[in-house]
Structure 1
Amino acid sequence: MTTSANGTPEGPLPSDIPTDADHMIYERKKHTMSNLYESEVEYFNGKPKPPQKKPRSAETLLAEVMMWRARARQNRAELRAANLEHAAKISELNSNCKKLRLKAEAAQARVTELEGATND
């Protein structure tokens, strides 16, 4: 950067424009700043800082744990009910399948019997 006669900075001249090598040096420095926290490095990289969360009280944490446990119990109960429903449907389908298999065997026996009677 250059300064004007009154001391104010002027815009970059073509000779002051950073080169690819300058950019690579900056990138290397940016990732090796060990004295800065990661969030500050991200802030310098153009990423916003994450919002700071307030610490929660023990009562709040206990209430959240109890809520999650209640939801887990509710989910288990719903799954058990769905499994019982599913098992009942499977049992009904198996029963219907067995009945149809018996009917098919009886029909096949009748066909065989009728074919034997016509051949005589």
Structure 2
Amino acid sequence: MGKRICVLEDNDDIREIISFVLEDEQYEVFSFSNIKDFEKGARDLHPDAFLLDVMLPDGSGLDVCCGLKAETETKNVPVLMMSANFSASQMRNKCSAQDYIHKPFDIYDFVKRIDAQIQYN
């Protein structure tokens, strides 16, 4: 497998589609449906990128992003945020993610943006 990406997305269908698409692109995908599980497992995986939904059942992906950017071992790992309800400018004011993907997203654009962040890193 290729580069590792940790996905935090509460919607089962979206999480499954993301995993399928990224695995097809040779990414090793680790997905989590809530912050609690993400906090337990994601950092130990040493991913090449994080893909985070904003609105989650047990908190905000924006807070998760801020936490990742505050920690020494993850501060340089690219974070991409996803949301149907927030604009890129709203998210930029809340966390320092490298990119913002609006849902629903175009699959080809989605993959291109993930590739760009991981290759840049």
TM-score normalised to the size of structure 2? 0.18
- Higher RCO by CA contacts (8 Å cutoff, separation 6 or greater): 2
**Which structure shows the higher strand fraction?**
2
* Structure with larger Rg: 1
TM-score normalised to the size of structure 1? 0.18
**Which structure shows the higher helix fraction?**
1
